[in-house]
Structure 1
Amino acid sequence: MNNLKKYEMIIYCLIYPILTMLFFMIWIHQSTLPGGDIGMTPFLVGIVLLIVFGIEITLVLILRKRINSLLNKLTCLFVAFLIYELTMWSLGGFGEFVLLESFKKPFAENIEGAFSFSSIFSLLIILGLILIIERLNKKTLHNTV
Protein backbone atom coordinates (compact mmCIF):
# COMPACT_ATOMS: atom_id res chain seq x y z
CA MET A 1 0.00 0.00 0.00
CA ASN A 2 2.87 2.37 0.76
CA ASN A 3 4.30 1.78 -2.72
CA LEU A 4 0.94 2.77 -4.26
CA LYS A 5 0.87 5.92 -2.15
CA LYS A 6 4.28 6.81 -3.55
CA TYR A 7 2.93 6.78 -7.11
CA GLU A 8 -0.61 7.95 -6.39
CA MET A 9 -0.34 11.39 -8.01
CA ILE A 10 1.43 9.92 -11.03
CA ILE A 11 -1.52 7.57 -11.50
CA TYR A 12 -3.91 10.52 -11.25
CA CYS A 13 -1.83 12.37 -13.87
CA LEU A 14 -2.32 9.40 -16.19
CA ILE A 15 -6.05 9.11 -15.50
CA TYR A 16 -6.77 12.82 -16.04
CA PRO A 17 -6.15 13.05 -19.83
CA ILE A 18 -7.90 9.74 -20.45
CA LEU A 19 -11.05 10.80 -18.62
CA THR A 20 -11.01 14.28 -20.13
CA MET A 21 -10.79 12.90 -23.66
CA LEU A 22 -13.47 10.32 -22.87
CA PHE A 23 -15.90 12.97 -21.60
CA PHE A 24 -15.11 15.23 -24.56
CA MET A 25 -15.77 12.43 -27.04
CA ILE A 26 -19.06 11.64 -25.29
CA TRP A 27 -20.01 15.30 -25.71
CA ILE A 28 -19.09 15.21 -29.42
CA HIS A 29 -21.27 12.14 -29.87
CA GLN A 30 -24.21 13.96 -28.20
CA SER A 31 -23.57 17.32 -29.87
CA THR A 32 -26.00 18.89 -32.32
CA LEU A 33 -23.25 20.71 -34.21
CA PRO A 34 -22.37 19.66 -37.78
CA GLY A 35 -19.17 17.73 -38.42
CA GLY A 36 -17.37 20.70 -39.92
CA ASP A 37 -17.67 22.67 -36.69
CA ILE A 38 -16.30 19.93 -34.47
CA GLY A 39 -14.12 17.98 -36.90
CA MET A 40 -10.69 19.02 -35.62
CA THR A 41 -11.57 19.69 -31.99
CA PRO A 42 -10.57 16.21 -30.75
CA PHE A 43 -7.08 16.84 -32.11
CA LEU A 44 -6.95 20.20 -30.34
CA VAL A 45 -8.04 18.60 -27.08
CA GLY A 46 -5.47 15.85 -27.58
CA ILE A 47 -2.68 18.36 -28.15
CA VAL A 48 -3.74 20.37 -25.10
CA LEU A 49 -3.88 17.23 -22.97
CA LEU A 50 -0.40 16.20 -24.11
CA ILE A 51 0.97 19.62 -23.16
CA VAL A 52 -0.85 19.56 -19.82
CA PHE A 53 0.28 16.00 -19.13
CA GLY A 54 3.90 16.92 -19.83
CA ILE A 55 3.81 19.92 -17.51
CA GLU A 56 1.80 18.16 -14.82
CA ILE A 57 3.87 14.96 -14.73
CA THR A 58 7.07 17.02 -14.57
CA LEU A 59 5.76 19.03 -11.62
CA VAL A 60 4.51 15.90 -9.84
CA LEU A 61 7.84 14.11 -10.30
CA ILE A 62 9.76 17.12 -9.03
CA LEU A 63 7.45 17.69 -6.04
CA ARG A 64 6.44 14.08 -5.38
CA LYS A 65 7.91 13.96 -1.86
CA ARG A 66 5.93 17.05 -0.85
CA ILE A 67 2.58 15.84 -2.21
CA ASN A 68 1.55 13.67 0.70
CA SER A 69 -1.34 15.45 2.42
CA LEU A 70 -4.91 15.81 1.24
CA LEU A 71 -4.49 19.58 0.92
CA ASN A 72 -1.44 19.17 -1.32
CA LYS A 73 -3.30 16.70 -3.53
CA LEU A 74 -6.25 19.07 -3.85
CA THR A 75 -3.85 21.87 -4.72
CA CYS A 76 -2.38 19.65 -7.45
CA LEU A 77 -5.86 19.11 -8.90
CA PHE A 78 -6.51 22.85 -8.92
CA VAL A 79 -3.13 23.54 -10.56
CA ALA A 80 -3.87 20.88 -13.20
CA PHE A 81 -7.14 22.64 -14.03
CA LEU A 82 -5.37 26.01 -14.23
CA ILE A 83 -2.69 24.58 -16.52
CA TYR A 84 -5.41 23.10 -18.75
CA GLU A 85 -7.34 26.38 -18.93
CA LEU A 86 -4.19 28.46 -19.51
CA THR A 87 -3.08 26.11 -22.28
CA MET A 88 -6.50 26.36 -23.95
CA TRP A 89 -6.36 30.15 -23.54
CA SER A 90 -2.90 30.39 -25.09
CA LEU A 91 -3.74 28.11 -28.02
CA GLY A 92 -6.96 30.05 -28.57
CA GLY A 93 -5.06 33.22 -29.32
CA PHE A 94 -5.12 34.78 -25.82
CA GLY A 95 -8.77 35.76 -26.08
CA GLU A 96 -11.23 34.98 -23.32
CA PHE A 97 -10.77 32.05 -21.00
CA VAL A 98 -12.57 28.96 -22.28
CA LEU A 99 -14.43 28.49 -19.00
CA LEU A 100 -15.88 32.00 -19.20
CA GLU A 101 -16.96 31.50 -22.81
CA SER A 102 -18.73 28.26 -21.91
CA PHE A 103 -21.76 30.01 -20.41
CA LYS A 104 -22.71 31.91 -23.58
CA LYS A 105 -24.37 29.09 -25.59
CA PRO A 106 -26.56 26.05 -24.94
CA PHE A 107 -24.47 23.10 -23.77
CA ALA A 108 -25.17 20.83 -26.76
CA GLU A 109 -23.81 23.50 -29.13
CA ASN A 110 -20.98 24.77 -26.94
CA ILE A 111 -17.50 23.56 -27.83
CA GLU A 112 -15.92 25.84 -25.20
CA GLY A 113 -18.15 24.34 -22.53
CA ALA A 114 -17.17 20.85 -23.61
CA PHE A 115 -13.48 21.78 -23.31
CA SER A 116 -13.87 23.05 -19.75
CA PHE A 117 -16.52 20.76 -18.37
CA SER A 118 -14.86 17.58 -19.62
CA SER A 119 -11.83 18.63 -17.59
CA ILE A 120 -13.95 19.56 -14.57
CA PHE A 121 -15.80 16.22 -14.64
CA SER A 122 -12.49 14.36 -14.85
CA LEU A 123 -11.07 16.27 -11.91
CA LEU A 124 -14.22 15.63 -9.88
CA ILE A 125 -13.86 11.89 -10.45
CA ILE A 126 -10.19 12.06 -9.46
CA LEU A 127 -11.18 14.08 -6.38
CA GLY A 128 -13.63 11.34 -5.47
CA LEU A 129 -10.89 8.73 -5.86
CA ILE A 130 -8.53 10.77 -3.68
CA LEU A 131 -11.16 11.11 -0.95
CA ILE A 132 -12.02 7.41 -1.05
CA ILE A 133 -8.36 6.40 -0.84
CA GLU A 134 -7.74 8.88 2.01
CA ARG A 135 -10.70 7.44 3.91
CA LEU A 136 -9.48 3.87 3.33
CA ASN A 137 -5.98 4.83 4.47
CA LYS A 138 -7.39 6.33 7.68
CA LYS A 139 -9.42 3.18 8.38
CA THR A 140 -6.42 0.90 7.87
CA LEU A 141 -4.27 3.22 9.99
CA HIS A 142 -6.82 3.09 12.83
CA ASN A 143 -7.10 -0.70 12.54
CA THR A 144 -3.33 -1.24 12.84
CA VAL A 145 -2.92 0.98 15.91
Structure 2
Amino acid sequence: MTFFMIWIYQSTLPGGDIGMTPFLVGIVLLIVFGIEITLVLLFRRRIISLRNKLTSLIVAFLIYELTMWIMGGFGEIVLFESFKKPFEENIKGAFSFSSIFALTVILGLIILNDKLNKKNVTQHRV
Protein backbone atom coordinates (compact mmCIF):
# COMPACT_ATOMS: atom_id res chain seq x y z
CA MET A 1 0.00 0.00 0.00
CA THR A 2 2.87 2.36 0.77
CA PHE A 3 4.43 1.89 -2.66
CA PHE A 4 1.08 2.49 -4.31
CA MET A 5 0.51 5.68 -2.32
CA ILE A 6 3.93 6.97 -3.38
CA TRP A 7 2.91 6.35 -7.00
CA ILE A 8 -0.39 8.22 -6.51
CA TYR A 9 1.50 11.24 -5.23
CA GLN A 10 3.51 11.27 -8.49
CA SER A 11 0.48 10.60 -10.71
CA THR A 12 -1.10 13.02 -13.18
CA LEU A 13 -4.57 11.47 -12.95
CA PRO A 14 -7.70 13.51 -12.07
CA GLY A 15 -8.90 13.66 -8.46
CA GLY A 16 -11.71 11.10 -8.76
CA ASP A 17 -9.37 8.35 -9.96
CA ILE A 18 -6.82 9.15 -7.31
CA GLY A 19 -9.45 9.38 -4.56
CA MET A 20 -11.05 5.99 -5.12
CA THR A 21 -8.06 3.79 -5.94
CA PRO A 22 -6.69 3.59 -2.38
CA PHE A 23 -10.03 2.10 -1.30
CA LEU A 24 -9.80 -0.47 -4.09
CA VAL A 25 -6.23 -1.32 -3.13
CA GLY A 26 -7.28 -1.65 0.51
CA ILE A 27 -10.13 -4.00 -0.38
CA VAL A 28 -7.88 -6.12 -2.59
CA LEU A 29 -5.21 -6.28 0.10
CA LEU A 30 -7.77 -7.37 2.71
CA ILE A 31 -9.06 -10.12 0.42
CA VAL A 32 -5.55 -11.31 -0.41
CA PHE A 33 -4.50 -11.13 3.25
CA GLY A 34 -7.47 -13.27 4.26
CA ILE A 35 -6.67 -15.90 1.64
CA GLU A 36 -2.93 -15.89 2.34
CA ILE A 37 -3.20 -16.03 6.13
CA THR A 38 -5.54 -19.01 5.78
CA LEU A 39 -3.10 -20.80 3.48
CA VAL A 40 -0.13 -20.02 5.73
CA LEU A 41 -1.96 -21.35 8.78
CA LEU A 42 -2.91 -24.52 6.90
CA PHE A 43 0.60 -25.15 5.56
CA ARG A 44 2.75 -23.56 8.28
CA ARG A 45 4.62 -26.76 9.04
CA ARG A 46 5.66 -27.12 5.39
CA ILE A 47 6.82 -23.52 4.90
CA ILE A 48 10.15 -23.92 6.67
CA SER A 49 12.82 -24.22 4.00
CA LEU A 50 13.93 -21.32 1.83
CA ARG A 51 12.54 -22.99 -1.27
CA ASN A 52 9.09 -23.38 0.29
CA LYS A 53 9.15 -19.77 1.49
CA LEU A 54 9.97 -18.58 -2.03
CA THR A 55 7.24 -20.77 -3.48
CA SER A 56 4.69 -19.39 -1.02
CA LEU A 57 5.79 -15.84 -1.90
CA ILE A 58 5.23 -16.50 -5.61
CA VAL A 59 1.84 -18.06 -4.86
CA ALA A 60 0.92 -14.96 -2.84
CA PHE A 61 1.85 -12.76 -5.82
CA LEU A 62 -0.27 -14.90 -8.14
CA ILE A 63 -3.21 -14.69 -5.70
CA TYR A 64 -2.85 -10.90 -5.71
CA GLU A 65 -2.83 -10.75 -9.52
CA LEU A 66 -5.75 -13.19 -9.70
CA THR A 67 -7.75 -11.06 -7.26
CA MET A 68 -7.05 -7.97 -9.35
CA TRP A 69 -8.13 -9.88 -12.48
CA ILE A 70 -11.40 -10.98 -10.84
CA MET A 71 -12.15 -7.49 -9.46
CA GLY A 72 -11.39 -6.02 -12.87
CA GLY A 73 -14.28 -7.94 -14.40
CA PHE A 74 -12.32 -10.89 -15.85
CA GLY A 75 -10.74 -8.68 -18.47
CA GLU A 76 -7.07 -8.79 -19.30
CA ILE A 77 -4.52 -9.74 -16.71
CA VAL A 78 -3.47 -6.56 -14.90
CA LEU A 79 0.25 -7.27 -15.23
CA PHE A 80 0.04 -7.55 -19.04
CA GLU A 81 -2.32 -4.59 -19.37
CA SER A 82 0.04 -2.36 -17.42
CA PHE A 83 2.30 -1.65 -20.38
CA LYS A 84 -0.37 0.07 -22.50
CA LYS A 85 -0.31 3.55 -20.89
CA PRO A 86 2.38 5.92 -19.62
CA PHE A 87 3.49 5.09 -16.10
CA GLU A 88 2.14 8.29 -14.52
CA GLU A 89 -1.40 7.60 -15.80
CA ASN A 90 -1.52 3.85 -15.36
CA ILE A 91 -3.49 2.77 -12.30
CA LYS A 92 -3.44 -0.91 -13.23
CA GLY A 93 0.29 -0.78 -13.78
CA ALA A 94 0.74 0.79 -10.37
CA PHE A 95 -1.18 -2.11 -8.81
CA SER A 96 1.17 -4.64 -10.38
CA PHE A 97 4.43 -2.74 -10.07
CA SER A 98 3.85 -1.87 -6.42
CA SER A 99 3.18 -5.56 -5.83
CA ILE A 100 6.34 -6.57 -7.71
CA PHE A 101 8.38 -4.01 -5.76
CA ALA A 102 6.97 -5.29 -2.45
CA LEU A 103 7.65 -8.87 -3.60
CA THR A 104 11.28 -7.96 -4.30
CA VAL A 105 11.71 -6.31 -0.90
CA ILE A 106 10.15 -9.29 0.91
CA LEU A 107 12.26 -11.70 -1.14
CA GLY A 108 15.41 -9.82 -0.12
CA LEU A 109 14.38 -9.91 3.54
CA ILE A 110 13.66 -13.65 3.41
CA ILE A 111 17.04 -14.40 1.83
CA LEU A 112 18.85 -12.11 4.28
CA ASN A 113 17.07 -13.73 7.24
CA ASP A 114 17.92 -17.21 5.94
CA LYS A 115 21.61 -16.32 5.56
CA LEU A 116 21.75 -14.77 9.03
CA ASN A 117 20.10 -17.84 10.56
CA LYS A 118 22.58 -20.16 8.82
CA LYS A 119 25.48 -18.02 10.04
CA ASN A 120 24.18 -18.09 13.63
CA VAL A 121 23.67 -21.85 13.51
CA THR A 122 27.23 -22.46 12.31
CA GLN A 123 28.65 -20.15 15.01
CA HIS A 124 26.77 -21.99 17.75
CA ARG A 125 28.09 -25.36 16.56
CA VAL A 126 31.71 -24.28 16.82
| TM-score, with structure 1 as normaliser | 0.84
SS at match of 1:67: coil
Partner deviation per Cα, 1:12-37 (whole Å, 9 max, x = no partner): xxxxxxxxx00011000010111122
CA distance in 2, matches of 1:119, 1:113: 10
1:116 to 96, 119, 126: 96
Q: Report deviation, 1:135.
A: 0.5
Number of equivalences: 125
CA distance in 2, matches of 1:37, 1:72: 38
**Structure 2 unmatched runs, 5+:** none
CA distance in 2, matches of 1:124, 1:79: 14
Q: Map 1:41-60 onto structure 2 (within 5 A).
A: 41-60=21-40
Structure 1 vs Structure 2 CA RMSD: 0.7
What is the identity, as a one-letter code, of the residue corresponding to 2:66? Answer: L
1:80 to 60, 77, 90: 60
Identity %: 77
CA distance in 2, matches of 1:104, 1:38: 19
Runs of 4+ with >4 A deviation: none
Q: Map 1:92-107 onto structure 2 (within 5 A).
A: 92-107=72-87
What is the identity, as a one-letter code, of the residue corresponding to 1:117? Answer: F
SS at match of 2:108: helix
Are 2:2 and 1:22 equivalent residues in the alignment?
A: yes
**Structure 1 unmatched runs, 5+:** 1-20
Aligned match of 1:127: 107
